Amino acid sequence: MKASQFFISTLKEAPADAEVVSHKLMTRAGLIKKLGAGIYNYMPLGLRVIRKVEAIVREEMNRAGAVELTMPVVQPAELWQETGRFDKMGPELLRIQDRHGRDFVVQPTSEEVITDIARQELKSYKQLPKNFYQIQTKFRDERRPRFGLMRGREFIMKDAYSFDRDQAAAKASYQVMAQAYRRIFDRFGLTYRAVAADSGAIGGDLSEEFQVIAATGEDAIVYCPQSDYAANMEKAEALAPVGPRGAATQPQTKTATPGKSTCADVAELLGVPLSITVKSLVLATDETNEAGEIVKTQVWLLLLRGDHDMNEIKAGKVPGLAGFRFATLGEIEEHFGCKPGYLGPIGLKKPLKIVADREVALMADWICGANEVDFHITGVNWGRDLPEPDMVADLRNVVAGDRSPDGKGELAIERGIEVGHVFYLGTKYSQGMNATFLGDDGKPAFFEMGCYGIGVTRLPAAAIEQNHDERGIIWPDAIAPFTVVVCPVGMDRSEAVKATAEQLYADLLAAGVDVILDDRGERPGAMFADWELIGVPHRVTIGDKSLKEGVVEYQHRRDAAATKVAVADILAHVK
């Protein structure tokens, strides 16, 4: 590819709504362009990255014996009504109507359609096992689309679905996918961890998330450096005692004085070390089921590090939240011997009468504030804009230093970005849709299923969160938009430079290297700044001076300086 023919459009400034580095850099490098909230154009450079991710995924899925197809983005509601998800699923499911008033959904995932295919096509146990996958556009009307491609509303997912004759075979299919995922994520060249995740009501241990390790990740991961124990916080907490840390063994009896407690009092009550400025805040969140109904209200005590503007807190922009989760408002009251409203100078204007958990959902007109006199904000409406539970994943009963459940060491905690998820489903969907095959005993049986997702467009964002510096992106070779950029300096003035650049470009192309020749005629400073921002891992600079010494300059994106290399040796550097 020649840069003059390609489309390159870089920006000096990041958009105002970009909070995380991947969103900033992807926009500045011209990989994506926003069209609406959580909806992006994949610009030519960005699309090249996405296609490389897809190619690796496709290759490894095929190698693992999965078969590709695609299912419609717009799907008739009838199938979704069969499983009940059309009604039960919350507002994340985008429902639309056609001109005849018929209901449709825009697929957030495709269990219903694939199960419908299976019940028609897979008639006998002899056709099993089967694993179908697609790499296709998804839509989820996320409550808080943000961070660019990381949490979009429209995004690309690879979703696979396995069909088996019995549980043992389904578990074997699950393991094949779990292994394929390891190969896929190894190939991306990222640091990741496979962690146990909650498999929900189905039970068992057959759910794992693949988490790219990054400080900005929305998920907290618990692992043991001395063993292979690793789980997401949800799963780890499920094993830990309920209530604030230590509460199970040592009930606290101290009472905070209404209106007078300082952050030090709170810290003492909770038994947390106070080496940082801590400010506290109480708020409640709703836990909803698939139908969006409130099943439980949780009250959180947040300890905020440092000073924060209440608007920032409300917008969920406050980093480094730490604190503790309580099951109910009543538990807080019991634990501290006072209404949470009085825990520190934070509170409800009118103490809430706790009739049912739902009462707590009233979230208008709170008084919030930090542990400072006269630092209260009244009339705060948390509304539906509360941070999602995963935003406050640090509110936890499991902390670093706890004993690992396998007893082999101490737990450590880090943050991750969920880029993949493998899940054993059992017969949930096959029973819901009456999808059966004939077993070897001649009797119909429900398919045993599994589902397996990879966030194809989230992955590049995760890669950037992990690999960047102040100048821009640093792509791993496997998913770089181009592997090598050839930068001639003074191409218009020097025949030698021009000829060498053209020849090297042709040679690299012939050797199968994904190379771009920057023939735009930009000045060196601007040219290098562009490629450093875009993050092409290998750069070859060709100039008159070094050519006279018979060399060109090679620089990896991570190198501090260029190295002189004979043109003939370049291939060895970039392969």
Exactly one of 151, 245, 335, 339 binds ligand ATP (CB under 6 A); that residue is 151
Q: Scanning residues 77 to 116, which ones bind ligand ATP (CB under 6 A)?
A: 109
| Residue 142 binds ligand ATP (CB under 6 A) | yes
**Residue 213 is encoded by which pair of tokens?**
């390790």
Of these partners, ligand ATP, Mg ion, none, which one is at the site of residue 151 (CB under 5 to 8 Å by kind)? Answer: ligand ATP
Compute how many other C-beta atoms are within 10 angstroms of the C-beta atom of residue 228: 9
Part in contact with ligand ATP (CB under 6 A); list of ranges 312-320, 452-460, 514-522, 551-559? 452-460
| Residue 416 binds ligand ATP (CB under 6 A) | no
**Element holding 139 (H helix, E strand):** strand 130-139
| Residue 419 binds ligand ATP (CB under 6 A) | yes
Exactly one of 129, 450, 453, 472 binds ligand ATP (CB under 6 A); that residue is 453
Contact letters for Mg ion, residues 61-90 (x by CB under 5 A)? ------------------------------
Give the DSSP letter of residue 569. G
Residue 331 CA to its chain's centroid (Å): 32
Of these partners, Mg ion, ligand ATP, none, which one is at the site of residue 543 (CB under 5 to 8 Å by kind)? Answer: none
CB-nearer residue toward Mg ion: 159 or 418:
418
Of these partners, Mg ion, ligand ATP, none, which one is at the site of residue 339 (CB under 5 to 8 Å by kind)? Answer: none
> 472-490: b or e for each residue (b if 16 or more CB lie within 10 Å)?
bbbbbebbbbbbbbbbbbb
CB-nearer residue toward Mg ion: 329 or 417:
417
Of these partners, ligand ATP, Mg ion, none, which one is at the site of residue 338 (CB under 5 to 8 Å by kind)? Answer: none
| Residue 146 binds ligand ATP (CB under 6 A) | no
Of these partners, ligand ATP, Mg ion, none, which one is at the site of residue 369 (CB under 5 to 8 Å by kind)? Answer: none
Q: What does the alpha-carbon distance between residue 491 and residue 519 come to, in Å, rounded to a whole number?
A: 8
**Of 447, 446, 450, the residue nearest 424 (C-alpha):** 450
Of these partners, Mg ion, ligand ATP, none, which one is at the site of residue 481 (CB under 5 to 8 Å by kind)? Answer: none
**Of 392, 457, 360, 422, the residue nearest 137 (C-alpha):** 457
Exactly one of 28, 458, 539, 557 binds ligand ATP (CB under 6 A); that residue is 458
| Residue 152 binds ligand ATP (CB under 6 A) | yes
Residue 519's contacts (CB-CB under 8 Å, 6 or more residues apart) are 2, 3, 4, 488, 491, 501
**Measured between alpha carbons, how far apart are the two ends of the chain, in Å?**
18
**Residue 22 is encoded by which pair of tokens?**
């991947």
Phi, psi of 440 (to 5 degrees): -70, -10
CB-nearer residue toward Mg ion: 237 or 418:
418
Exactly one of 42, 125, 155, 188 binds ligand ATP (CB under 6 A); that residue is 155
Size of the residue set binding Mg ion (CB under 5 A): 2
Is 118 strand, coil or helix?
A: helix
Q: What does the alpha-carbon distance between residue 452 and residue 249 come to, in Å, rounded to a whole number?
A: 40
Instruction: Find the Cα–Cα–Cα–Cα dihedral 550, 556, 562, 564, rounded to 10°.
Output: -20
- Which ranges constitute the DSSP H helices of 306-358? 310-314, 329-336
Exactly one of 18, 32, 157, 497 binds ligand ATP (CB under 6 A); that residue is 157
CB-nearer residue toward ligand ATP: 413 or 417:
417
| Residue 421 binds Mg ion (CB under 5 A) | yes
Q: What does the alpha-carbon distance between residue 170 and residue 174 come to, in Å, rounded to a whole number?
A: 6
- The Cα-based distances of 511 to 214, 554, 565 in angstroms read 35, 18, 18
Report, in Å, the least distance between residue 51 CB and ligand ATP.
17
Q: What does the alpha-carbon distance between residue 370 and residue 377 come to, in Å, rounded to a whole number?
A: 9
Exactly one of 421, 468, 538, 539 binds ligand ATP (CB under 6 A); that residue is 421
Q: What does the alpha-carbon distance between residue 409 and residue 401 come to, in Å, rounded to a whole number?
A: 9
Q: What does the alpha-carbon distance between residue 256 and residue 212 come to, in Å, rounded to a whole number?
A: 41
**Residue 463 is encoded by which pair of tokens?**
């890669």
CB-nearer residue toward Mg ion: 290 or 365:
290
CB-nearer residue toward Mg ion: 454 or 552:
454
Residue 207 CA to its chain's centroid (Å): 16
Part in contact with ligand ATP (CB under 6 A); list of ranges 274-282, 453-461, 502-510, 526-534? 453-461
Part in contact with ligand ATP (CB under 6 A); list of ranges 169-177, 276-284, 345-353, 419-427? 419-427
Contact letters for ligand ATP, residues 291-330 (x by CB under 6 A)? ----------------------------------------
Part in contact with ligand ATP (CB under 6 A); list of ranges 64-72, 116-124, 150-158, 424-432? 150-158
CB-nearer residue toward ligand ATP: 279 or 458:
458
Exactly one of 344, 387, 455, 543 binds ligand ATP (CB under 6 A); that residue is 455
- The Cα-based distances of 509 to 63, 377, 387, 486, 505 in angstroms read 27, 63, 49, 12, 6
Which residue of this chain has its Cβ atom nearest to ligand ATP in the complex?
A: 455
| Residue 235 binds ligand ATP (CB under 6 A) | no
Compute how many other C-beta atoms are within 10 angstroms of the C-beta atom of residue 317: 14
Q: What is the 3-state secondary structure (H, E, C) of 221-289?
A: EEECCCCCCEEEHHHHHHHCCCCCCCCCCCCCCCCCCCCCCCHHHHHHHHCCCCCCCEEEEEEEEEEEC
Report, in Å, the least distance between residue 80 CB and Mg ion.
17
Q: Which residues bind Mg ion (CB under 5 A)?
A: 418, 421
Q: Which residues bind ligand ATP (CB under 6 A)?
A: 109, 140, 142, 151-152, 155, 157, 418-421, 453, 455, 457-458
